[in-house]
Amino acid sequence: SVRLLVAVVRLVSFSFRWRCCACGQVREAGRCGCSVDAVAGSEARFEAWGMAIVDDGTGRAVLELNGLLVWPMLQASDSIVDGVAAAARAVGPLSLRCGEANHKECLSLGRGQWQCAPGASIGPEQRRALDAAMPRQECWQRRFVTTCRRVQMASTESRRELTNRQRVRVRGQDLDLEIVYGFPKLQALHLEAASPRMELERLLRGS
């Protein structure tokens, strides 16, 4: 694994869902193969996934985020996380493919539409919760410190977007990485917003 100071170029996609702990199926509006009414959080786990294009000053890469690491990237409060979890519980699995946004725009602009399971619909309350989770330019920190590793196997969400493998040099290390949109693909193991001290250390190193 390597530790990088990166800036987010753009957000790529996100998905949120509840998975039954008993049968392993993804729940749709609280229902799964083993129970039609079991919606208690203790009987299912909430799953979050996301991807973003990042730049560490030497090149760009796609950073994959799983579970709790999604929320530091979005800088979401506990109430926002609870709102998204409640929306996914009520509607079923939710996904979003973000659109392009230039450096002067809010990264949520052109993000496309939230997608849900066939036959389901996103109500006004759920849509407000999902919109609140997307960062706004004026209050969002783009720079992060991440400990990451090369991806050994593509996740289900990003598998269709992978093209080939490429050997790249990151901080003096040669890594064989999968490529998404022509960029190396990394999986985050840890993520936190960069502090002024981290920025100063980066400048002193000349990176």
Contacts of residue 89, Cβ cutoff 8 Å, sequence gap at least 6: 18, 27, 29, 30, 39, 46
Three-class DSSP category at 113? coil
pLDDT band at 78 (very low <50, low <70, confident <90, very high): very high
pLDDT band at 31 (very low <50, low <70, confident <90, very high): confident
Calculate mean pLDDT across residues 2-25.
87
Cα Rg, the chain, nearest whole Å? 18
What is the C-alpha separation between 201 and 9, in angstroms, rounded? 21
Calculate mean pLDDT across residues 37-49.
71
What is the C-alpha separation between 184 and 98, in angstroms, rounded? 19
Q: What is the pTM of this model?
A: 0.74
Inform me whether the pLDDT recorded for 111 exceeds 70. Answer: no
- Structure confidence at residue 85 (pLDDT): 94
- Distinct helix (H) and strand (E) counts, the chain: 5, 9
Quote the mean pLDDT of the chain. Answer: 77
Alpha-helical segments (H) within the chain: 70-74, 78-91, 124-133, 156-159, 196-205
What is the C-alpha separation between 153 and 175, in angstroms, rounded? 14
